[in-house]
Structure 1
Amino acid sequence: MRTAICERLGIEFPLFAFSHCRDVVAAVTNAGGFGVLGAIAFTPDQLDSELTWIDQRVGGRPYGVDVLVPGKIDASALDRHARLADLVPERHRDFVTHLMTKYGVSGTIQPPAASADEFGRRVTAAGASGLIDVALQHPIGLIASALGPPPPEMVARARAAGVPVAALVGTVEHARRQVAAGVDLVVAQGTEAGGHTGEIATMVLVPQVVDAVAPVPVLAAGGIASGRQMAAAMALGAEGVWCGSVWLTTEEAETAPAVKRKLLAASSLDTVRSSSRTGKPARQLASAWTDEWDSSPESPGPLGMPMQLLVAEAAMARIGAAAERGEPGALELANYFVGQVVGQLNQVKPAREVVYEMVSEFAEAVERLARLSG
């Protein structure tokens, strides 16, 4: 399986695996795909450690890093506060405490700490700069901007380092803006995808983006977890696929065991686009958490990014620990970012096996189409 993107990046299969887990990134890369590590969870020092670990295990094979640099955050407002927690309204803290009480989650929610402040600042352009610096010090083959056009300095620094820049988009207009900003690879992500998504389906979005940005290569994302879906994406004009959800139930995944069990039991109807985790619409497993924030008359409504991240992640840390202890209310609240392909994820497998199964099924699908056209 060879496409132009395979030749450019030096990979066997045009299968890109986005994951926050270094083990998944290394496993997919070693299997001939292209692992992409999501960097938002790490400080610069932690990211350096994670990438060093990957470097030692992939034998020089290329992999990538994904940073989150949203373009609509009032960084000046953040900079005026020593602690981002100062910007979290009391009613939002009270609502989280109410949820913990209502669902019987043991312990209390503390105000976001300094570590959470740092986490919030990492989703600003200034905060992401340190992560970009670290990423470009490693032999990465790609750096991706997960939300919004990459800052000009990111593109310039990547170009100087000889590293291609990718960006995720949910509309044709976004794709044009990304190309104008200098990206080398566009990831057209349909609404089926997990995490931050738009409202246009993959089957509709991909061919429109391919036509709009040619000759810039396009990867398809959203609703892709099998070889048949991969073949469909390539038929739409994509040069490869970008997958995230399919790795959440692999043996290597960082997914908490209680959440992994929920994912394995879920259907494709069990996801929702909600701002309740990050402050921007993100597809995730529907749970009491999303229901309460989005539908409860008591809800104050989600804050914007990054403030909702602080509120949610502090709460989710406690909810996750309680869910692992088997507390029923915590299990109702627990969720994670996942796409509609969750309905296909019903078995735990090694990431390498997932890669090989997708490639094999892709070949079978192409052969079937060849027979039909013959």
Structure 2
Amino acid sequence: MQHPIALAPMGGSSGGALAAAVSRGGGLGLLGAGDGDSDWLAREATMVKQGTDKPWGIGFLTWAIDADAVERALEYQPRAMMLSFGDPSPFTERIRQSGTTLIIQVTDLEEARQAVELGADVIVAQGTESGGHGARHGRSTLPFVPTVVDLVAPVPVLAAGGIADGRGLAAALALGAAGALIGTRFQASAEALVPPSIATAILEGRGQDTERNRVLDIARGSAWPAQYTARTLGHRYLDQWRGREAELAADVEAQRDYQDDVARGEVPPEPVWAGEAVDLITGLSPAADLVSHLAAQAEDILNRVGRH
């Protein structure tokens, strides 16, 4: 790796083309393999292997996978594997035995301690500003990252949540992190696996319009565990059901209405996952160029600060 930037393994966004582009740009591209669907993994892992000779990896939702998913993924010889959300202990020994770099994402200090005990090579400290899913009762990136850095030293830490430009990367390094895991910014890139409407929504979105909630997971029948909420841009169903999650969960007809609205095109097929730094995203860029731009901007800022 040339730059301290990793692609967040976002389900539905971080496919083979995007992961390969980030790695070619000098960062670490991570496939968002989600629950380990074998057909998806075969297609996208093949794409990233063909697209770069630089290090790349695979990220999983820990609560959604089994040992077979890990075994299938290791067949593609990723340099790193990242586990997020849930108990990683059933899978860590096998990953470490393979020689694959083990990355574990944490959302609180107890998870950070567990990650150290399990032998994580890299720990991602995720703040609540992040887009997509995270802990319901998490902490903000600014105070959380240095606390994790101190707790898990000398294990390197990547900061995640609310980082969308070189200033955020510079801040992460100043907090003691070894680099940053960046998600929402890479959704607005040429290679992301998102339809144009999602990219447009991100470019037009504002951080104040993002909201962390379980409403959309419930409405779309997602199996995400209740302890994780998701930060998204505004949505009609959020306005309709905010604060009434239990009622929505019991209302089968309302959930069917959601699917009908998706089929009619009245609501997007997927929520628009977006972090609080979405305001900073003002254009689409090739991902490799974006990596080098973020790194150069961070370097310039750190140099200027160092002269004062």
Q: Provide closer, same or farther for how the CA distance between residues 46 and 171 of structure 1 changes in structure 2, counting only shifts above 3 A.
A: same
By how many angstroms is 1:316 displaced?
A: 7.2
1:255 aligns to 2:194 (yes or no): yes
Residue among 43, 60, 64 paired with 2:57: 64
Runs of 4+ in structure 1 deviating by more than 3 angstroms, as ranges, are 314-323
Any conservation in 1 of the 2:17–2:51 contact (CA below 8 Å)?
no
Any conservation in 1 of the 2:149–2:157 contact (CA below 8 Å)?
yes
Q: Counterparts in 2 of 1:139-218, with a 5 A limit?
A: 139-152=77-90, 154-198=91-135, 199-218=138-157
Which structure's residues are more often strand, by fraction?
A: 2
By how many angstroms is 1:181 displaced?
A: 2.5
Q: What is the count of residue pairs matched by the alignment?
A: 291
Q: Deviations over 1:284-315 (max 9, x none)?
A: 12211223332459x62448xxxx9xx98x98
Q: Secondary structure at the match of 1:228?
A: helix
Q: Counterparts in 2 of 1:1-374, with a 5 A limit?
A: 11-18=1-8, 19=10, 20-40=14-34, 43-59=37-53, 61-70=54-63, 123=64, 127-152=65-90, 154-198=91-135, 199-276=138-215, 277=217, 278=224, 279=226, 280-295=228-243, 300-302=247-249, 319=261, 322-323=264-265, 329-330=266-267, 335-372=271-308
Partner of 2:220: none
Partner of 1:76: none
- TM-score of the superposition, structure 2-length normalised? 0.87
Any conservation in 1 of the 2:189–2:285 contact (CA below 8 Å)?
yes
Q: Secondary structure at the match of 1:215?
A: coil
Q: Secondary structure at the match of 2:99?
A: coil
Q: Deviations over 1:149-170 (max 9, x none)?
A: 3133x11111121012111111
Q: Where in structure 2 are there 5+ consecutive unaligned residues?
A: 218-223
- Alignment partners' CA distance in 2, 1:266 and 1:229: 18
Aligned amino acid, residue 279 of structure 2: G
Q: Where in structure 1 are there 5+ consecutive unaligned residues?
A: 1-10, 71-122, 324-328
Q: Deviations over 1:254-273 (max 9, x none)?
A: 12222222221111111111
By how many angstroms is 1:346 displaced?
A: 2.2
- Alignment partners' CA distance in 1, 2:261 and 2:70: 31
Any conservation in 2 of the 1:220–1:241 contact (CA below 8 Å)?
yes
Any conservation in 2 of the 1:67–1:128 contact (CA below 8 Å)?
no
Q: Deviations over 1:39-83 (max 9, x none)?
A: 116522331222122111112x1111111122xxxxxxxxxxxxx
Any conservation in 1 of the 2:26–2:292 contact (CA below 8 Å)?
no
- TM-score of the superposition, structure 1-length normalised? 0.72
Aligned amino acid, residue 282 of structure 2: N
Of 15-24 and 354-363, more deviation after overlay is shown by: 15-24
Q: Provide closer, same or farther for how the CA distance between residues 130 and 235 of structure 1 changes in structure 2, counting only shifts above 3 A.
A: same
By how many angstroms is 1:129 displaced?
A: 2.3
By how many angstroms is 1:365 displaced?
A: 0.5
Q: Deviations over 1:161-211 (max 9, x none)?
A: 101211111122221122123322110011100122233111000000000
Aligned amino acid, residue 215 of structure 1: P
RMSD after superposition: 2.4
Q: Secondary structure at the match of 2:242?
A: helix
